[in-house]
Amino acid sequence: MCTSKRTVHASAVLASRFVFMFVFMFGFVFMFGFMFGFVSAQGPGLGHPISEADVAAWDISILPDGTGLPPGSGTSEQGSKIFAAKCAVCHGENGKGGSAAALVGGQPLTSGIETTKTVANFWPYATTIFDFTRRAMPWPRPRTLTSEEVYALTAFILSENKIIGAGDVMNAQTLPKVRMPNRDGFIPRFPERIP
Amino acid sequence: MSHQQPRPALDHLEIAAGNGLLHRRAFLTSGATLAAAITGYTLSETAAAQQLTDAPWSTKPGVPIPEYATPSSFEKHVVRTLTNPRGEPRTQHARTPHHLVNGTFTPNGLHFVISHSGAPDIDPAQHRLVIHGLVKRPLEFTLDTLGRYPMVSRMAFVECGGNSATLFSNEPLQAGVQTLHGLVSCAEWTGVMLSTLLEEAGIDPRAKWLIAEGADSLALSRSVPMSKALDDAMIALYQNGERIMPGNGYPMRLLLPGWEGNMNVKWLRRIKLVDQPGMSYYEARTYAPILPNGKAYQFYFLQEVKSFITHPSPGLKMSGPGFYEVSGIAYSATGPVAKVTVSADGGKTWAEAALQEPRLSKAFTRFRLPWKWDGGPAVLQSRAWDEAGNVQPTRAEVIARRGQTKTPVTNPAAFPSQHYNGPTSWAVDRAGEVKHVYV
């Protein structure tokens, strides 16, 4: 506990140098962070920058307004053949249902709370058909369908449900414009939580 | 033995509600040590008392301790029930046996799982999490990178939006708590706050939602409001201290405390910030419950305040009149559980249950109440309140708003609707059998 005047002085100098260096380094890191913009107030900023081009193969998000829909197109007639080859084994001939859900038809939703939800009686957006088919189907080999095939299958399902005409072409422009029968059938449960 | 000693007086304990419900602190305030007088629930008949002798396991050294422990061989019945054990091309459900566990968190091997295409076998070294879309800097994270971030631990329940769905049946499905309510569990989750990573990526002000996507074969995706993402969302890396179980999202999942289970995207690999919800299959179709007027709720989000009794419940037999502890779990998406009441007479009279501390927000709270069963018919119910003032509705209130099926549900794995948070009633008959009823 006994400390000479000299050592007190030395440690004070040391301390002030330390403070100076700390402020300098902190300022440097702060400035550096602002310049390059990757230091977070909460975290160490270790995320590796990646370009949208490098994410492209994973980016299969389709929004209801059509954002994200790829180039390509398809018709019900084309979709019918693909469906028979790749989908009917589970969803039944012409989507009438099998070990997996029926894709055509459906009861009115006023039939009861347990009414089976279908494309025709429930799905509010046609883009969801494209999105789910592309990301998840066929069940054993997901994401093996080409964009053309997904457009064609989407056209086939919509056409079989009489939501679009038999000859209508589905593509990035036409698909988001398809008006689903139950588009206005929804109520947000907690409206204040919807952005 | 003890049967020759005088029993403590049981008759002066404070009665709190009809049919033998005692004050929640009856045993603490009576001054009597009554532990020996409390009879337990049994899975089978209790053996009669006999003279004590050494059992074989007490007369020789035991088995070696394994590297990774599993429960006693006598606990083999404490398992999840499976709806699709062979992994056929449809959804799999694994339900937590709430009647065979106790406390407030769920052991990892018993945590409920719903998987729509099985659990991917992810190599953690190759797994990547990408944050992109409406951000200033798209970023990629490895598991090792995330391991260097400041972490937080919190208890949180995760509940499937379809848990308890068979209570929408117009007749009570004859099933136990595991079948009816097994799609909710509670764990301590440890990971990195999503807000930390979003801030690092730099949020474009146009971003109102994010789309979270898994690395499973269905690339399951759900839209989450940015407000929730910046509130208490976590990239969870650990579950009850160990790496997340494969069925629960190994090596990382999105944790949205209190929100619909399906939104807590497992095997998380991509987060895209967007200006509108994606209207994915699971939000536009599956978890949008149909209402009696033919409209449907969209974006339900919250797992509302709920409770159910686990002890006793069907499958647990009462072993004769006397003292029992009624016990169960309560939870809410909107804050800590404030109060739970229990009825033993089908809702005519209620007693306030003791709540196990700490009462954590968006986590299980265990409630307990001593009960002196007189051996006659009884109907047990519980009802919960949270600190935000939300109350668990009666079944009549739920049905008035949400409807019920036209014909009885007989398939225990059916989902006639979603988001049931009304009460559950257990009828105890004179034989001590417990069954599911509506009152």
Chain B stretch 240-279, residues whose beta carbon is closer than 8 A to a beta carbon of chain A: 269-270, 272, 274, 276-279
Percent of chain A with pLDDT over 90: 78
Chain B stretch 281-320, residues whose beta carbon is closer than 8 A to a beta carbon of chain A: 281, 284-286, 288-302
Strands A169-171 and A73-75: antiparallel
Instruction: Please report the pLDDT score of residue B435 as a whole number.
Output: 97
- How far apart, in whole angstroms, are the C-alpha atoms of residue B332 and residue B330? 7
Residue A86: pLDDT band by 50, 70, 90 thresholds? very high
Is residue A75 domain-shared with residue A29, that is, in the same domain? no
Is residue A43, in this structure, part of any structural domain at all? yes
Is residue A55, in this structure, part of any structural domain at all? no
Q: How far is B293 from chain A (nearest CA, A)?
A: 6
pTM, two decimals, is 0.90
Tokens representing residue B171 in the block: 């007749």
Is residue A188, in this structure, part of any structural domain at all? yes
CATH of the domain at A117: 1.10.760.10
Instruction: Please report the pLDDT score of residue B54 as a whole number.
Output: 96
End-to-end CA distance of chain A: 62
List pLDDT tens digits, range B261-307: 999 999 999 999 999 999 999 999 999 999 999 999 999 999 999 99
SS3 B214: strand
Tokens representing residue A136 in the block: 């998840």
Identify how many contiguous H helices and E strands chain B contains and give both numbers. Answer: 7, 27
- Does residue B427 contact residue B435 with C-beta atoms inside 8 Å? yes
Q: Which of A52, A187, A190 sits opposite B138 (nearest CB)?
A: A52
- How far apart, in whole angstroms, are the C-alpha atoms of residue B267 and residue B283? 18
**β-strand partners of A188:** B298
How much is the average pLDDT of B331-348? 98
Percent of chain A with pLDDT over 70: 79
List pLDDT tens digits, range B356-390: 999 999 999 999 999 999 999 999 999 999 999 99
Is residue A29 domain-shared with residue A94, that is, in the same domain? no
Instruction: Please report the pLDDT score of residue B13 as a whole number.
Output: 84
Contact: A193, B301; criterion CB under 8 Å: yes
- Does residue B269 contact residue B129 with C-beta atoms inside 8 Å? yes
Is residue A64 domain-shared with residue A34, that is, in the same domain? no
Instruction: Please report the pLDDT score of residue A42 as a whole number.
Output: 74
Instruction: Please report the pLDDT score of residue B12 as a whole number.
Output: 77
Q: Does position B50 have pLDDT exceeding 90, yes or no?
A: no
Q: Does position A194 have pLDDT exceeding 50, yes or no?
A: yes
Give yes or no for B25 touching A (CB within 8 A): no
Is residue A166 domain-shared with residue A78, that is, in the same domain? yes
DSSP H helical segments within chain A, as ranges?
5-36, 52-55, 76-86, 88-91, 127-136, 147-160
Tokens representing residue B436 in the block: 């599911």
Is residue A82 domain-shared with residue A123, that is, in the same domain? yes
Give residue A69's domain range: 60-193
Who has greater pLDDT, B30 or B318? B318
Instruction: Please report the pLDDT score of residue B7 as a whole number.
Output: 56
How much is the average pLDDT of B101-109? 97
Q: Which of B117, B208, B294 sits opposite A110 (nearest CB)?
A: B294
List pLDDT tens digits, range A157-189: 999 999 999 999 999 999 999 999 999 999 999
Percent of chain B with pLDDT over 90: 91
CB burial of residue B189 (10 Å; 0-12, 13-18, 19+): buried
* Cβ-based contacts of A186 with chain B (< 8 Å): 288, 295-298
Contact: B416, A113; criterion CB under 8 Å: yes
Tokens representing residue B371 in the block: 């009960």
Question: At CA A113, angle to CA A108 and CA A117, rounded to 5?
Answer: 55
Contact: A50, B276; criterion CB under 8 Å: no
Nearest C-alpha neighbor of B325 from the set B35, B52, B1, B59:
B35
Quick one: CA torsion of B210, B214, B217, B223, rounded to 10 degrees?
Answer: -30
Contact: A90, B89; criterion CB under 8 Å: yes
Instruction: Please report the pLDDT score of residue B266 as a whole number.
Output: 98
Is residue A167, in this structure, part of any structural domain at all? yes
Nearest C-alpha neighbor of B427 from the set B394, B382, B378:
B378
Question: At CA B203, angle to CA B202 and CA B209, rounded to 5?
Answer: 150
Give yes or no for B24 touching A (CB within 8 A): no
Contact: A47, B298; criterion CB under 8 Å: no
Chain B stretch 193-232, residues whose beta carbon is closer than 8 A to a beta carbon of chain A: 193, 195-197, 199-202, 208-209, 211, 213, 217-221, 225-228
Contact: B195, A193; criterion CB under 8 Å: no
Is residue A169 domain-shared with residue A124, that is, in the same domain? yes
Q: Which of B136, B227, B294 sits opposite A109 (nearest CB)?
A: B294
Contact: B89, A185; criterion CB under 8 Å: no
Q: Which of B213, B279, B404 sits opposite A64 (nearest CB)?
A: B279
Tokens representing residue B403 in the block: 């409807």
Contact: B137, A186; criterion CB under 8 Å: no
Is residue A129, in this structure, part of any structural domain at all? yes
Q: Does position B36 have pLDDT exceeding 90, yes or no?
A: no
Contact: B405, A114; criterion CB under 8 Å: yes
Contact: B208, A195; criterion CB under 8 Å: yes
Contact: A113, B269; criterion CB under 8 Å: no
Residue B33: pLDDT band by 50, 70, 90 thresholds? very low
Considering only alpha carbons, which residue of chain B is nearest residue A187? B297
* Cβ-based contacts of A42 with chain B (< 8 Å): 150, 193, 195-196, 199
Nearest C-alpha neighbor of B428 from the set B384, B392, B374:
B374
Residue A41: pLDDT band by 50, 70, 90 thresholds? low
Q: Which DSSP state fits B135?
A: B
Considering only alpha carbons, which residue of chain B is nearest residue A182? B295
- How far apart, in whole angstroms, are the C-alpha atoms of residue B397 and residue B167? 13
Is residue A25 domain-shared with residue A89, that is, in the same domain? no
- Number of domains present in the structure of chain A: 2
Q: Which residues contact B267 (CB under 8 A, 6 or more apart)?
A: B119, B120, B122, B214, B215, B216, B249, B250, B252, B253
Distances (CA, A) of B132 to A110, B44, B60: 41, 56, 62
Is residue A86 domain-shared with residue A15, that is, in the same domain? no
Q: Does position B44 have pLDDT exceeding 70, yes or no?
A: no
Residue B40: pLDDT band by 50, 70, 90 thresholds? confident
ipTM: 0.91
Domains along chain B with CATH numbers = 129-286 (3.90.420.10)
List pLDDT tens digits, range B398-429: 999 999 999 999 999 999 999 999 999 999 99
Distances (CA, A) of B418 to A101, A140, B287, B391: 19, 28, 7, 18
The CB-based long-range contact list for B97-101 (8 Å cut-off, 24+ gap) reads: B97/B178, B97/B182, B98/B177, B98/B178, B98/B181, B98/B182, B98/B308, B98/B310, B98/B313, B98/B329, B99/B176, B99/B177, B99/B178, B99/B310, B99/B311, B99/B313, B99/B314, B99/B315, B99/B316, B100/B178
Residue A178, Cα to own-chain centre: how many angstroms? 20
Q: How far is A115 from chain B (nearest CA, A)?
A: 8
Mean pLDDT of chain B: 94
Q: How far is A107 from chain B (nearest CA, A)?
A: 11
Q: Which of B221, B284, B299 sits opposite A189 (nearest CB)?
A: B299
Instruction: Please report the pLDDT score of residue B29 as a whole number.
Output: 60
- How far apart, in whole angstroms, are the C-alpha atoms of residue B154 and residue B223? 23
Q: Within chain B, what is the greatest distance between any pair of CA atoms?
A: 78
Q: How far is B297 from chain A (nearest CA, A)?
A: 5
Is residue A153 domain-shared with residue A173, that is, in the same domain? yes
Count Cα atoms within 13 angstroms, Cβ side, for B20: 20
Distances (CA, A) of B394 to B36, B162, B397: 36, 18, 5
List pLDDT tens digits, range B173-183: 999 999 999 99
Is residue A18 domain-shared with residue A79, that is, in the same domain? no
Is residue A98, in this structure, part of any structural domain at all? yes
Q: Does position B337 have pLDDT exceeding 70, yes or no?
A: yes
Q: Which of B168, B274, B295 sits opposite A63 (nearest CB)?
A: B274
Q: How many CB pairs under 8 A join A and B?
A: 206
Instruction: Please report the pLDDT score of residue B8 as a whole number.
Output: 54
CB burial of residue B321 (10 Å; 0-12, 13-18, 19+): middle
Is residue A76 domain-shared with residue A164, that is, in the same domain? yes
Q: How many CB atoms lie within 10 A of CB B86?
A: 6
Q: Does position A13 have pLDDT exceeding 90, yes or no?
A: no
B171 φ, ψ (degrees, to nearest 5): -125, 145
**β-strand partners of B224:** B210
Contact: A186, B295; criterion CB under 8 Å: yes
Is residue A35, in this structure, part of any structural domain at all? yes
Is residue A72 domain-shared with residue A38, that is, in the same domain? no
Q: Does position A142 have pLDDT exceeding 70, yes or no?
A: yes
Instruction: Please report the pLDDT score of residue B67 as a whole number.
Output: 98
Is residue A85, in this structure, part of any structural domain at all? yes
Q: Which of B196, B217, B293 sits opposite A43 (nearest CB)?
A: B196
Contact: A43, B150; criterion CB under 8 Å: yes
